[in-house]
């Protein structure tokens, strides 16, 4: 398959087995549902702090490519951790594939912010990707031949097979990001959550990652936290704006004016190619000319 963006060959995405939805789950097209979720962290003395998430309701669909955007500290990572079942809300309910998230965590792939990943571990890349198989392993960190094959397949899929014996600390930001995606894919997830996967990578790597995510989205729903408004408005199907409270829009609705209302006036929305012809006077996206193929990042508020 050729990339629709670059015209270059893309790694084939191995077919993923479809998940049988829980028969008690009323809407088969909905893979995740949050209803009136409110969450607060606890202070060191155990008291509840101010809510980070307040009355959040959200549905995640089988074919979703949903972006979560919002200012620093707006609650994006917290929301992903709630969908993963790592955090429990004080109010509201969360179901993924019709069950509490902790019961189906093996079906959810999670790619954390690479900046927050401990690179001091001495394990090689293959070991790190194999760790994604732990939910399938009967013997903890003892992996079988199938696990190794799945891990190598995930490395090939993300174009990192040649890095299998390198240490994470020796990799570039873009390579590290791909390895973290490979680790999530090795688990054969039915839902993929990514926390800022394109942060700190150059436009070429970003394009490759974007192509990879598009190919994966043919087979599984993706929820992605991003500060890159150009990526959000060009590649995603829906956008959830989160700043303690959440509103969901179709990606087409994300224009400069909606972003300015959300982040503040100094946001520059720059579309990734291909998009509106640059300088098109009819463009409502607030696009500005950019020198590179993929555009600039949003300016931080």
Ligand X SMILES: Nc1ncnc2c1ncn2[C@@H]1O[C@H](COP(=O)(O)OP(=O)(O)OP(=O)(O)O)[C@@H](O)[C@H]1O
Binding site for ligand X (CB under 6 A): 41, 52, 70, 72-78
Q: In what order do the strands lie in the sheet with 222-225?
A: 108-111, 191-195, 222-225, 65-69, 238-243, 245-250
- Least CB distance to ligand X at residue 9 (A): 34
3-state secondary structure (DSSP) of residue 262: helix
Return phi, psi of residue 170, to 5°.
Answer: -90, 0
How far is C-alpha 82 from the geometric centre of its chain's CA atoms? 14
* CB closer to ligand X, 143 vs 263: 263
- Least CB distance to ligand X at residue 1 (A): 33
- Least CB distance to ligand X at residue 135 (A): 24
* CB closer to ligand X, 51 vs 132: 51
* CB closer to ligand X, 50 vs 265: 50
**Cα distances (angstroms) measured from residue 165 to each of 123, 161, 179:** 9, 9, 12
- Least CB distance to ligand X at residue 74 (A): 4
* CB closer to ligand X, 64 vs 228: 228
Residues pairing with 247 in the sheet? 241
DSSP, residue by residue, 183-232: HHHHT--SEEEEESTTTT--HHHHHHHHHHHHHHHTTS-EEEE-S-HHHH
* CB closer to ligand X, 113 vs 207: 113
* CB closer to ligand X, 115 vs 123: 115
* CB closer to ligand X, 73 vs 274: 73
Encoded tokens for 198: 């394109």
* CB closer to ligand X, 77 vs 208: 77
Separation of alpha carbons 287 and 269, rounded Å: 6
Q: Is 72 exposed, middle or buried (0-12, 13-18, 19+ CB in 10 A)?
A: exposed
3-state secondary structure (DSSP) of residue 263: helix
**N residues, the chain:** 301
- Least CB distance to ligand X at residue 153 (A): 31
- Least CB distance to ligand X at residue 71 (A): 7
Instruction: Spell out the residues 6+ positions from residue 298 whose beta carbon is closer than 8 angstroms to its own.
Output: 227, 228, 229, 230, 259, 263, 267, 268, 269, 270
- Least CB distance to ligand X at residue 227 (A): 7
Separation of alpha carbons 300 and 47, rounded Å: 32
Encoded tokens for 294: 């993929």
- Least CB distance to ligand X at residue 66 (A): 15
């Amino acid at each position: 398959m050729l990339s629709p963006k670059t015209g270059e060959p893309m790694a084939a995405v191995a077919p993923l087995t479809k998940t049988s939805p829980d028969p008690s789950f009323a809407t088969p097209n909905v893979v995740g549902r949050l209803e009136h979720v409110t969450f607060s962290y606890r202070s060191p003395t155990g008291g509840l702090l101010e809510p980070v998430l307040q009355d959040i309701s959200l549905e995640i669909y089988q074919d979703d490519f949903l972006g979560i955007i919002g200012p620093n500290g707006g609650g994006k990572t917290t929301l992903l951790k709630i969908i993963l079942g790592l955090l429990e809300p004080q109010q509201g309910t969360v179901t993924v594939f019709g069950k509490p998230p902790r019961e189906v965590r093996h079906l959810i792939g999670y790619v954390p912010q690479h900046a927050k990943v401990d690179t001091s571990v001495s394990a090689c890349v293959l070991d790190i990707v194999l760790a994604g198989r732990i939910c399938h392993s009967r013997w903890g960190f003892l992996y079988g031949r199938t696990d190794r094959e799945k891990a190598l397949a995930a490395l090939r899929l993300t174009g990192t097979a040649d890095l299998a014996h390198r240490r994470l600390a020796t990799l570039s930001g873009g390579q590290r990001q791909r390895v973290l995606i490979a680790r999530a894919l090795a688990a054969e997830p039915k839902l993929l959550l990514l926390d800022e996967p394109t942060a700190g990578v150059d436009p070429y790597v970003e394009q490759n990652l974007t192509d990879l995510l598009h190919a994966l989205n043919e087979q599984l729903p993706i929820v992605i936290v991003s500060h890159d408004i150009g990526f959000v408005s060009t590649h995603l199907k829906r956008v959830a704006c989160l700043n303690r409270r959440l509103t969901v829009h179709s990606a087409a609705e994300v224009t400069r004016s909606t972003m300015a209302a959300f982040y503040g006036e100094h946001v520059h929305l720059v579309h990734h190619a291909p998009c509106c012809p640059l300088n098109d006077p009819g463009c409502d996206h607030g696009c500005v000319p950019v020198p590179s193929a993929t555009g600039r990042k949003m300016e931080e508020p």
